[in-house]
Structure 1
Amino acid sequence: MNLDTGKQHFANDPELLSRVLAPYARPKTQYLRSATVEVAGGLASAEGRFSIPFPCYIDDTGHLNSVEVNICFNQLMYYLIAKCVQQQVVAEFDDWTMEDYWAKQLPDILIARFESHFKRPIDSADFSGEVSFAEFRRTNRSRPVQIVEMPWRFWDAAGGHAQGEVRMALVDPPGMTVRADAA
């Protein structure tokens, strides 16, 4: 188990980012342009740059909306988990391989709760965002699930700001087995 408490910084990894965003292959849905990851005290956060020249589902509103926030959160969260698995820098992912991550990215990394607060409109053409791991816990009722509490925030250069928290459910994570009484 990796218990390194020193601070580590990982620069943007275009190859990893491209692979993480591969499920967003539909035109104009790859909003995350670059991302960096910081690891300290057993937790990690990712900061990313985004651009949404044209929304993928509605006429341009001129500002970031809740659907786009959810998509941007997903893209940055997927990158954060992938980088932590790749570098083996967060103990909660020590049992994961990159093959595990690619197999689980879409079917087993789920949003259980999404909370958002929009303070000031954000220019969707150019903005930044951050997602962080705040807390991990495990449940094993009918199947193994790792719960991850993840605060997030997005902002732009003109003072636009939104923030919230997401509860992620990582279903059947590597290293967790089904309880005998749940089978």
Structure 2
Amino acid sequence: MERTWKAKVMPVQKEDFERIDELLLQRTLSPYASKGAIYLQEAYIDFKISDTVGSTLREDKDYVVRGEFSISESCYIDDTGHFNAVEFNICYNQLMYVALAQACSKHLLSSLKELTLDNFYRKQLSNIYITRLDFFLEKSY
């Protein structure tokens, strides 16, 4: 089954979600540190009732992770004056890595039950791929 992912910026009540531990965040994002490209500042987890039938996630629930990002300067190009596709992709990668690390750490998803946090870190860069990413950036006036 093909899934379409949509990203939308929306206000979040932080008290409604569990904050992901700072140490887990730092360890998971360490591959970005030498490039000065740690954009994800905070991350929060929640489970939401699934709108899909036959969900393979934990007891028909979707695993939801929300993040707050800060990009003081791009790690790959001079300032363009706007948020662009490369920064979006880096933010997405960081949030996804943290979501998976948290799921492994807390055994949140049955599909990852065999993956320990140590094994996740060993495989983080070499075995995790984004196979498709669709998004639309719109200029605000």
Answer yes or no: same fold by TM over 0.5.
yes
Equivalents in 1 of 2:42, 2:17: separation in Å? 14
The structure with more helix, counted as a fraction of residues = 2
Equivalents in 1 of 2:70, 2:108: separation in Å? 28
Equivalents in 1 of 2:109, 2:29: separation in Å? 22
Q: Which residue of 2 aligns with 1:99?
A: 118
TM-score normalized with structure 2 length:
0.75
Sequence identity (%)? 37
Q: Which residue of 2 aligns with 1:22?
A: 30
Q: CA RMSD in A?
A: 1.8
TM-score normalized with structure 1 length:
0.58
SS of residue matched to 2:133: strand
- Once the two structures are superposed, the pairs formed by residues 1-183 of structure 1 within 5 Å of their partners are 9-41=17-49, 42=58, 43-121=62-140
Unaligned residue ranges in structure 1 (runs of 5+): 1-7, 122-159, 161-183
Across the two proteins, how many residue pairs are aligned to each other?
Answer: 115
Larger Rg: 1
Using the TM superposition, give the Cα deviation of residue 9 of structure 1 relative to its aligned residue in structure 2, in angstroms: 4.4
SS of residue matched to 2:80: coil
Unaligned residue ranges in structure 2 (runs of 5+): 1-15, 50-57
The structure with more strand, counted as a fraction of residues = 1
Higher normalized contact order (CA 8 Å, seq sep 6+, divided by chain length): 2
SS of residue matched to 2:44: strand
Equivalents in 1 of 2:20, 2:26: separation in Å? 11
